């Protein structure tokens, strides 16, 4: 688990430090810097994996861009030549400073500084003052993994960072009509491979249940089915089939497998819909279930615009389920989610310290600021009086993140 993440001089993030929980929700106006924060962690993930190139950044969900646009640059302020990142967790700390190649957009970024520590003990380090002739385009942390025991805290920190990706699911990719350009296991960064990922998730849930290792009723097959049935209330059944056995027009491009839904309101024998015909909301619900519960989903991941395609009340219920699923999952799993939907906040159990809410704003200088929402006595009193989190946010009582229109 990443307990603290810091970033300096990256896009609109001049100097930001945040203490993370297991479920972390960032809410703010358009253009406030929420996606920049997720992508900053994506750049650090590439650095932890040993190479920072346009192709490697794309693999972690970072949008392509000119190198000069990755650096923070504001009127009247000195532009730092170095972009710095830091992450702490499990008693370890990893820090890295990078130079983006301004004159060669397709070239590798250069490692300027790098430090991995366990407590006060330095496991590796480099700087521009070092006398060693190190390849400036290759990171040391990825190489250090060869020497570290897989169960060591330092190895777990680096591997957790390496697993990170920014997921931005799109309807066409979830339907399987477009190939996912960033394929991953169990599901692509754009949502490609959803049918197979959901099918294997259901098999895993049943297997874990048969082995009597289910830590929560919410993770039992029937508990999961009840949650999904409540959110996909128009369907009385859903399954995964090979495309040749699905009622799909030959002209529709598709993946090897497709999702099938049976609409409870339609006439029998004419009520089977594929993922191509079904509501996109159902697809986003299944995608989020995969991200929270699939054993092969990364231990650290971000979902940008997590409320996309969802009715506000469905978004609230899905957030409740995402928190329940993530907190009950037997292996530690950490999610970062961005949203614009106030009702999402009403699904957050903020009295649990493992769930964190942050408001994201731009300062008078244009710098992105990220502030945690703390349930102090004032907010607790207002909550006891019937104020919901969504109402508190819209009315400006959560300290920011509300667009000034």
Residue 187 backbone phi and psi in degrees, to 5 = -145, 145
Which 8-state DSSP code applies to residue 54? H
C-beta neighbour count of 335 within 10 angstroms: 26
Question: What is 1-165+300-405's CATH number?
Answer: 3.40.50.300
What distances in angstroms separate CA 104 from CA 47, 57, 333, one per listed residue?
18, 16, 37
* pLDDT tens track for 26-83: 999 889 999 999 999 999 999 999 999 999 999 999 998 888 889 888 887 787 789 9
Q: What is the DSSP string of 333-393?
A: -EEEEEE--HHHHTT--TTSTTEEEEEEEE-TTS-EEEEE----HHHHHHHHTT--HHHHH
For residues 109, 296, 21 and 4, what is the CA-based torsion angle, rounded to 10 degrees? -20
Residue 89 backbone phi and psi in degrees, to 5 = 175, 145
- Characterize the bridge pairing of strands 166-167 and 300-303: parallel
Backbone conformation region of residue 176, classed left if phi is above 0, alpha if psi is from -120 to 50, else beta: left
Q: Are the CB atoms for 27 and 348 separated by under 8 Å?
A: no
CATH 3.40.50.300 domain residues, the chain: 1-165+300-405
Report the largest interatomic distance among the alpha carbons of the chain, rounded to a whole angstrom: 76
What are the 10-residue block averages of pLDDT along the chain, 405 residues in total?
96 96 94 95 97 94 87 82 94 95 81 94 85 83 92 96 97 90 93 94 89 77 93 92 72 77 90 88 96 96 92 95 94 95 93 94 93 89 89 84 67
231-265: burial string, b at 16+ Cβ within 10 Å, e else: bbeebeebebbebeebebeeeeebbebbbbbebee
**72: which 2 tokens?**
């923070």
Alpha-carbon gap, residue 29 to 400, rounded angstroms: 10
Residue 240, beta-bridge partner list: 259
Q: What is the DSSP string of 215-234?
A: -SGGGSHHHHHHHHHHHSTT
Residue 251 pLDDT: 61
């Amino acid at each position: 688990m990443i307990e603290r993440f810091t970033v300096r001089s990256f896009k609109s993030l001049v100097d930001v430090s945040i203490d993370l929980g297991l479920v972390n929700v960032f809410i703010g106006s358009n253009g406030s810097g929420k996606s920049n924060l997720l992508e900053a962690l994506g750049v650090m993930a590439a650095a932890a994996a040993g190479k920072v190139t346009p192709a490697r950044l794309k693999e972690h969900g970072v949008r392509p861009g000119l190198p000069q646009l990755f650096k923070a640059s504001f009127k009247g302020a000195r532009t730092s030549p170095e972009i710095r990142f830091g992450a702490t967790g499990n008693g370890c700390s990893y820090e890295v400073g990078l130079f983006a190649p301004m004159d060669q957009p397709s070239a590798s970024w250069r490692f300027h500084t790098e430090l991995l520590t366990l407590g006060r003990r330095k496991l590796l380090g480099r700087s521009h003052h070092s006398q060693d002739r190190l390849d400036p385009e290759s990171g040391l942390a990825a190489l250090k993994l060869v020497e570290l025991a897989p169960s060591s805290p330092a190895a777990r920190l680096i591997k957790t960072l390496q697993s990170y990706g920014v997921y931005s699911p799109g309807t066409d990719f979830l339907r399987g009509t477009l190939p996912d350009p960033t394929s991953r296991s169990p599901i692509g960064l754009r949502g490609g491979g959803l049918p197979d990922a959901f099918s294997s998730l259901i098999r895993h849930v049943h297997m874990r249940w048969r082995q009597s290792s289910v830590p929560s009723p919410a993770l039992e097959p029937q508990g999961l089915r009840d949650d999904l049935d409540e959110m996909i209330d128009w369907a009385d059944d859903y399954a995964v089939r090979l495309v040749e056995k699905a009622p799909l027009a030959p002209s529709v491009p598709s993946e090897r497998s497709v999702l099938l839904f049976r609409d409870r309101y339609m006439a029998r024998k004419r009520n089977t819909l594929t993922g191509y015909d079904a509501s996109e909301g159902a697809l986003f619900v299944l995608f989020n279930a995969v991200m929270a519960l699939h054993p092969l989903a990364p231990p650290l991941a971000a979902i940008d615009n997590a409320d996309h395609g969802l009715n506000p009340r469905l978004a609230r219920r899905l957030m409740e389920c995402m928190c329940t699923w993530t907190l009950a999952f037997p292996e530690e799993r950490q999610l970062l989610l961005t949203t614009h939907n106030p009702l999402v906040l009403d699904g957050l159990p903020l009295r649990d310290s493992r769930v964190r809410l942050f408001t994201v704003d731009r300062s008078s200088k244009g710098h992105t600021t990220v502030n945690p929402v703390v349930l102090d006595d004032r907010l607790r009193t207002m909550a006891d009086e019937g104020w919901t989190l969504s109402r508190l946010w819209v009315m400006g009582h959560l300290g920011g993140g509300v667009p000034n229109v």
